[in-house]
Amino acid sequence: MARSTFRTLFYINRSKQKKNGKCPIMGRITIDGQQVQYSMGLEINPDNWDAKHGRCKGDLDEMKNINRILTEKEGQMQAKYTELVWQKGYVSAELLKSRLTEDSQNNGMLMEEADRFIEEKRPCVGVTIAQSTFRNYIYDRQLIVSFLQEKYGVSDICYSRLDYGFIEDLDFYLKSKRRLSPATIQMTVVFLRKLIGIGQRKKYIRRDPFVDFKAEKPHGTRRYLTTEELNRILQTPIINKQFERARQLFIFCAFTGLARVDMLRLTPRHIHHYDDGTCEIRIKRQKTDVEAIILFCHRKGDTGHLYERKATR
């Protein structure tokens, strides 16, 4: 049997440039001169595309992430092509495309969904998602990929292969091999649970493998200042103006109970003044989205203020 000529190519469809200036990334399979095209479900600005190599150019995380997806897709096509050659003795471009689409629709790939989830959340950073949360998503993804490579020798896995044992093995890997803290492990497990939920909604997986799994909860100790320590902070002389400003901000957080991130978001519109000389801070906490109310009570003959935290609602 003559050996088939098999080639893959990624390119951008400039004729379908969107309003945001980006073009869809397409894939092309060529076998013995027969060609088929398919959409990668990704888009990119034409200025960031290297047509010669069929990859993104630049060192931005977004470019690197897209290039990784393209490389993994290329590997999947090569593996499926080899599988079909052994099974049927021949492969057409249309058959290969059909099998790849069928596998994707029926099974779904865990890390493909992780990448899609991350890219969907990227525009929300700084709006509805904190930068630190988004960085955690990327770090969690890296940990799961490292586990897949060490345990199975692959960089992605079908949803159909996920079971209770997979989660237990991941948990053991993060504890023993990576020696991560319970808090970090819990963060990664929560991310995996999100991906499982996506797979269930898309009908990639029926039974939730987390049903019988109980993650170890981190045992953190809540830190606090004693009265003596707080007085020491208040009374210690500080000459440097920058350090003195940092102390004032820290004391403000200590008395009001506001987190640093909430203090940074504080503006005059959050402060409400009343006729009796008192005023309140009303601000929604970023972490819980619950309104915090802090009452300022000014005492006659007192140069300071008493901060009284009222019940949040």
Where are the alpha helices (H) located in 60-202, listed in sequence order? Answer: 61-88, 93-106, 110-121, 131-151, 164-172, 182-201
Residues 93 and 126 in one domain: no
Q: What size, in residues, is the chain? A: 313
Domain count, the chain: 3
Please give the Cα distance from 158 to 154 (Å, whole number): 11
How confident is the model at residue 297, as a pLDDT? Answer: 64
| Helix (H/G/I), strand (E/B), else coil: 30 | strand
pLDDT at 147: 92
Provide the edge-to-edge strand list for the sheet that holds 271-273.
271-273, 279-284, 291-298, 305-309
Instruction: State the pLDDT at residue 11.
Output: 95
Domain edge (last residue) among 41, 72, 106: 106
Cβ–Cβ < 8 Å for 198, 113: yes
> What is the predicted pLDDT for the residue at 174?
94
Which domain-ending residue is among 51, 76, 106?
A: 106
Of 5-9, 23-27, 87-91, the one with minimum mean pLDDT is: 87-91
How buried is residue 195: exposed, middle or buried, by Cβ count under 10 Å (0-12/13-18/19+)?
buried
Q: What are phi and psi of 206, to 5 degrees?
A: -95, -55
Cα torsion angle, 104, 107, 108, 110, sign: negative
Residue 26 tokens, joined = 């397409």
Give the model's pLDDT for residue 27. 92
71's tokens = 């490389």
Reported as half-sphere exposure (CB side, CA atoms, 13 A), residue 278 has a value of 12
Percent of the chain topping pLDDT 90? 30
8 A C-beta contact, residue 122 and residue 62:
yes
Token couple for 140? 């969690």
- Judged against a pLDDT cut of 70, whether residue 20 lies above it is answered with yes
Mean pLDDT taken over the chain: 84
Edge to edge, what strands does the sheet with 23-31 contain? 6-12, 23-31, 34-44
Q: Quote the domain boundaries for residue 258.
A: 227-309
pLDDT in tens, 113-151: 999 999 999 998 888 888 889 999 999 999 999 998 888
Residue 123 and residue 63 share a domain = no
Give the pLDDT band (50/70/90) at residue 19. confident
Confidence of residue 225 (pLDDT cuts 50, 70, 90): confident
- 152 against 202, higher pLDDT: 202
pLDDT band at 219 (very low <50, low <70, confident <90, very high): low
As a whole-number percent, the residues of the chain with pLDDT over 70 amount to 88
Domain boundary among 106, 131, 154: 106
Same-domain pairing of 250 and 188: no
Whole-number pLDDT of residue 105:
57
257 and 271 in one domain?
yes
Same domain flag for 97 and 117: no
What is the pLDDT confidence band of residue 304, given thresholds at 50, 70 and 90?
very low
Task: Inform me whether the pLDDT recorded for 303 exceeds 50.
Answer: no
Shared-domain flag, residues 178 and 269: no
Task: Sort strands 271-273 and 55-56 into parallel, antiparallel or unpaired.
Answer: unpaired
Half-sphere exposure of 35 (CA within 13 A, CB side): 8
Residue 276 is predicted with a pLDDT of 80
